[in-house]
C-alpha cells in the first residue's frame, strides 16, 4: 500500500519541551489542538482504529509519527520525515527502542492518506519544490526526453540536471518554462491545470 502526505511536517516548528513528545510532534505538523493526553494514549487509539503499521512498512516518501517503548513509565513518539528522524525538535539517529509502529494519524489528525498509486497528482493536489516521489521521476524523464532544449544541449545533460524522484530546483524551473510557453501562470508547481497541459504534449504520468 502506498501513502501520500496530507499534512506537511515542518521540523523547525516542532516543539522542544521535555516530557511533551506528543505535543512537540503535533506542533511540527501545525496541529495546535491535541486529542490525547499522552503518546501511549495516542498509540493505543491507533491500534484500535487500525491506523498503526509495522516499522517494516514505513513510507519513505512521507512524514509520519512513530511510537516507541522507551522501557520507562511512558511511551515516546518521534517523527520520521522522509528519511530523517526528529525527537523533541532535534534530529536523531534511528531509535533503538522497541517499536510499536508508525501511525497514519498524529494525535487524532490524519497526516497521510492511502493511495492506489495510480493517480499522478498527490492527495494535496499538486507537486512543488522539495517533494519526493517516484511519480516526479516520471515527470523529470518526460522533461529530459521532450523539453531538454529548455536548459540543456541534449537529453544526457538534461537527465543529470533533473534529479529523478526529487522535485528540485531544476524540475521547478523546467515547469515554470513549460508554463510560460503554454500560457499558464508560472508558479513552478504541477497542479491540475499544468498536469492537463502536460498530458496534451504526451505525458503519461
Q: Is residue 121 part of a domain?
A: no
Q: Are residues 76 and 162 in the same domain?
A: no
CA-to-CA distance for 155 and 161, rounded, in angstroms?
A: 10
Q: Is residue 100 part of a domain?
A: yes
Q: How confident is the model at residue 45 (pLDDT cuts 50, 70, 90)?
A: very high
- pLDDT at 76 > cutoff 60: yes
Neighbours of 184 (CB within 10 A): 16
The mean pLDDT of 32-42, rounded to a whole number, is 95
Q: Are residues 41 and 88 in the same domain?
A: yes
Q: Are residues 23 and 108 in the same domain?
A: yes
Residue 118: what pLDDT? Answer: 61
Q: Are residues 99 and 53 in the same domain?
A: yes
DSSP conformational letter for 180: H
The mean pLDDT of 10-19, rounded to a whole number, is 95
Q: How confident is the model at residue 124 (pLDDT cuts 50, 70, 90)?
A: confident
Structural domain harbouring 146 = 134-199
Q: Is residue 68 part of a domain?
A: yes
Residue 82: what pLDDT? Answer: 87
Q: Is residue 123 part of a domain?
A: no
H/E element, 117: none
Q: Is residue 87 part of a domain?
A: yes
Residues 161-188: tens digit of each pLDDT: 998 899 999 999 999 999 999 999 999 9
The mean pLDDT of 18-32, rounded to a whole number, is 96
Q: How confident is the model at residue 85 (pLDDT cuts 50, 70, 90)?
A: very high
pTM for this prediction: 0.62
Residue 170: what pLDDT? Answer: 97
Question: How many structural domains are present in the chain?
Answer: 2
Q: Are residues 23 and 92 in the same domain?
A: yes
CA-to-CA distance for 121 and 47, rounded, in angstroms?
A: 30
Q: Are residues 182 and 143 in the same domain?
A: yes
The mean pLDDT of 72-87, rounded to a whole number, is 90
Q: Is residue 66 part of a domain?
A: yes
Q: Are residues 173 and 90 in the same domain?
A: no
DSSP conformational letter for 18: T
Mean pLDDT of the chain: 92
Q: Are residues 107 and 143 in the same domain?
A: no
CATH code, 167:
1.10.101
Q: Is residue 183 part of a domain?
A: yes
What is the CA angle 132-135-140, rounded to 5? 85
Strand partners, 106: 109
Q: Are residues 23 and 76 in the same domain?
A: yes
CATH code, 15:
3.90.1720
Q: Are residues 150 and 98 in the same domain?
A: no
Amino acid at each position: 500500500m502506498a501513502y501520500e502526505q496530507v499534512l506537511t511536517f515542518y521540523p523547525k516548528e516542532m516543539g522542544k519541551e521535555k516530557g511533551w513528545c506528543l505535543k512537540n510532534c503535533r506542533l511540527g505538523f501545525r496541529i495546535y489542538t491535541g486529542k490525547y493526553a499522552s503518546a501511549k494514549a495516542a498509540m493505543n487509539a491507533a491500534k484500535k482504529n487500525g491506523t498503526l503499521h509495522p516499522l517494516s512498512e514505513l513510507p519513505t516518501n512521507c512524514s509520519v509519527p512513530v511510537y516507541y517503548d522507551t522501557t520507562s513509565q511512558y511511551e515516546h513518539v518521534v517523527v520520521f520525515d522522509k528519511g530523517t528522524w526528529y525527537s523533541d525538535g532535534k534530529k536523531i539517529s534511528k531509535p533503538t527502542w522497541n517499536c510499536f509502529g508508525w501511525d497514519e494519524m498524529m494525535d487524532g489528525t490524519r497526516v497521510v492518506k492511502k493511495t492506489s498509486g495510480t493517480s499522478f497528482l498527490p492527495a494535496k493536489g499538486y507537486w512543488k519544490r522539495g517533494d519526493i516521489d517516484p511519480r516526479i521521476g516520471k515527470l523529470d524523464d518526460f522533461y529530459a526526453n521532450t523539453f531538454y532544449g529548455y536548459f540543456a544541449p541534449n537529453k544526457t545533460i538534461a537527465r543529470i540536471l533533473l534529479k529523478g524522484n526529487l522535485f528540485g530546483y531544476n524540475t521547478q524551473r523546467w515547469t515554470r518554462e513549460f508554463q510560460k510557453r503554454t500560457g499558464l501562470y508560472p508558479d513552478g508547481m504541477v497542479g491540475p491545470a499544468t498536469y492537463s497541459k502536460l498530458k496534451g504534449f504526451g505525458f503519461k504520468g
